[in-house]
Amino acid sequence: MNAPRDNATGTAVRAAAARALTPVLKEQGSLAGLDETGVAPRDRALLKELCFGTCRYLPRLEALAGELLRQPLKKRDQDIQALLLLGIYQLLYMRIPAHAAVGETAGAARLLDKAWATRVLNGCLRRLQRESAALQAKVDRSPGNALAHPTWLLTALRQAWPEQWRALADANNHPGPMTLRVNARHGHRDAYLATLAEQGMSARPCPHAPDGITLDSPCDVTALPGFDQGRVSVQDEAAQLSAVLLGPALAPRPGARVLDACSAPGGKTAHLLEQFDVALTALDSDNERLGQVDSTLERLGLNAELRHADAAGQGDWRHADFDAILLDAPCSGSGVIRRHPDIKRLRRPADIASLAGLQARLLDNLWPLLVEGGTLVYATCSVLPEENADVIRAFLARTPDARATTPDDVAWGQVSGDGRQLFPQLESHDGFFYARLQKCARPAAPADAEGYAAPSSPGPVTDPR
């Protein structure tokens, strides 16, 4: 990436990046709502690269910052810490001229009303230029630093996936590709590939998702042919497989009742409606994010019943007649770190057990709403078994009328307990877990010696933690 065209622009975009990163460093915010309006349009791509790239390598950058600073910066100066991390990232990972990376990053301290920090930043970054090889070799003695992952997460990956953990970490450190989902109501994927080729946009079909296309180079959505008309959406290939798994339960049943229990931002909701003629209820506990579902459906010309409610709670949305339920459960996001690299700072080990408890409660609360013979697909964008195979194993053990029907003859992912685990792949799909469950007739209660059957009881609900 080229340097900004003038010093004033360069310092402004770096100051904006520092302001955006400061809440992340304080664990008080994320990059999800990155505000790009404060910089010139020509610099918005640079702003995003600075912020997301710095978070992507944050553990390693922080270790290097610790070597460069004579003493740690005060808590009130986390914005200066952010500038230092941004400067290190530029020098080591971007093709920005060193003089711009150093001078404009240090100069940005003045825009943060901390002119005193320019000398500190200059000194640290120039030292990194002189001693780069030695300093990097020193911090990389720690695998967590070398692979740019928090130690706890790297340990969890290694324990769960002893053969894949290094490839997992490597994939997390590379931006994911831009993948599209062609709206089947507007035509076939091959036709859209031809349209892209006519526009000079290179792309290839996804190997597993029948409606998926991966672009060779990302672009603004406004450049996608037919985007405003609902012809195509942006969605990772792994996320598109939820519709594939629910297909056998929905394809022969026009008007089937479907519940998307944690629907925001609406990609999977829309995909189901594009594929199947169903009556869909989209539920989400975050009203603002539910608005995103509404906007998505409006652009695509689709309709669903939107309900603001907690899928782990009660309410008048509960009807025991759903033919299918999609539970895309809240999770650690450990399979999509490459798209949300601030997870490396914001997620904590204790979160995993807490999330597993929530996932168990969601399953227990939603299962009674499924008709006999109905299908529930459980999904997470996690690669940690505690949120995936372990949760499903415990649920099946305490739920007599549930059986796993996850297919074992598909070409994607690998068997993980009663589900399938996908790992993030370079230039391909994200990390995801799926398990498909069917509701069967509840086994008859055993009769006693006099021939009387004991009353049916669901039994205690146990926490899989």
Pairing outcome for strands 432-439 and 402-404: antiparallel
In 3D space, the residue among 64, 102, 89 whose CA is nearest the CA of residue 173 turns out to be 89
Judge whether 381 counts as a catalytic residue. yes
Instruction: Check: CB of residue 240 under 8 Å from CB of residue 211.
Output: yes
Q: State phi, psi for 376 to the nearest 5 degrees.
A: -120, 130
Catalytic pick among 55, 262, 331, 381: 381
What separation in angstroms does the CA of 250 have from each of 108, 243, 256, 272, 275?
A: 56, 9, 7, 9, 9
- DSSP string of 148-197, one letter each residue: TS-HHHHHHHHHH-TTTHHHHHHHHTSPPPPEEEE-GGG--HHHHHHHHH
Q: Helix, strand, coil proportions of the chain in percent (round to 5)?
A: 45, 15, 40
* Residue 66 buriedness (CB in 10 A; 0-12 / 13-18 / 19+): exposed
Q: Distance (Å, rounded) from C-alpha 148 to C-alpha 165?
A: 13
> Which residue in the block uniquely carries the two structure tokens 């062609």?
182
Tally Cβ neighbours within 10 Å of residue 194. Answer: 12
Count of alpha carbons within 13 Å of 54, Cβ hemisphere only? 29
Place of tokens 């340097």: 3
Q: Which residues are catalytic?
A: 381
